[in-house]
Amino acid sequence: MKPSKKTFWRYFKKNKLAVGGLTVIVITFLIAGFASLMAPHDPGKTDVSLKLQPPSSQHVLGTDQLGRDVFSRMLYGSRISLSVGFVAVAISILIGILVGALAGYYGGWVDSLLMRFVDIMICFPSFFLILTVVALLGPSLLKVMFVIGITSWMGTSRFVRAEFLSLRERDFVQAAQALGVKDLRIIFRHILPNALAPVFVTATLDVATAILVEAGLSFLGFGAQPPAPSWGNILTEGRTYIFDAWWLTIFPGLAILITVLSFNLLGEGLRDALDPRLRGRR
């Protein structure tokens, strides 16, 4: 049974880690939105006379091998990480909802066919599949978003299918069918709104995964391309100077760690607040 908003917030607020994760995510969004106002320097401006300067009052997080301000590049890099995370997850959620809804509502051979396709997709190691496709298509931020989206929808489809298998037997669905309401209207107007709770949880966790995948691809040179700043390619540029300029790896690494951890904590908090079986554990 889906909890009321009041009940949901009451249980969610009890989870301090989830509230902390949500706070960090909101701050990260604000940073990304106001990066142009907060950045003290042009993230693309080079000055080799200032290369590999340690953190100071003028450059809070130091400079890189081209004399660019790392703090400014980190601020602008948050835009890329969040954009990839949310666009990729939006694509995966749309595909997952469509496949899961059709499989769960119609059942029979439609369910069998779609779920076998899901099983086949799950058999492929996601990161290596993404890496292969991006390598074939060429590195591009839009391609990264699209490829991550079309290779990460399987979990969502299974959750949606399970909800539809349960909800399609409810009285309100049978009443709509008896009145001659079209299937698409029943699926998207009557059943889907009641099946979205696990989707929100999955989406939150998938955003964290997408950010991590983008960072990994950028680190390998297949994600955001220089001079566009992203946390992954800042890490890539810093690995050559890991012993001489520790700030080039520590700060972007911490940014990725804290952001991914915050989304995971938020996802766990949403799951606990939405599932009545888990509320008593808090």
**Taking Cα atoms as reference points, which of 120, 206, 125, 113 lies closest to residue 159?**
206
pLDDT (tens digit, 9 = 90+) per residue, 32-87? 999 888 988 888 888 888 888 889 888 889 898 888 999 999 999 898 888 888 99
CB 263 within 8 A of CB 21: yes
- pTM score, two decimals? 0.84
CB 127 within 8 A of CB 223: no
Q: What is d(CA 36, CA 93) in angstroms, rounded to the nearest whole number?
A: 30
Give the H or E element holding residue 144.
helix 141-150
- Greater confidence (44 vs 94) lies with 94
Tell me the three state secondary structure of residue 62. coil
pLDDT for residue 20 is more than 60: yes
Give the angle subtended at the CA of 252 by the CAs of 251 and 258, to the nearest 5°: 90
Q: What is d(CA 149, CA 100) in angstroms, rounded to the nearest whole number?
A: 16
CATH of range 5-42+70-281; options 1.10.3720.10, 3.40.50.1980, 3.50.50.60, 3.40.309.10 = 1.10.3720.10
At 92 the pLDDT is 92
Domain boundaries, the chain: 5-42+70-281
pLDDT for residue 99 is more than 90: yes
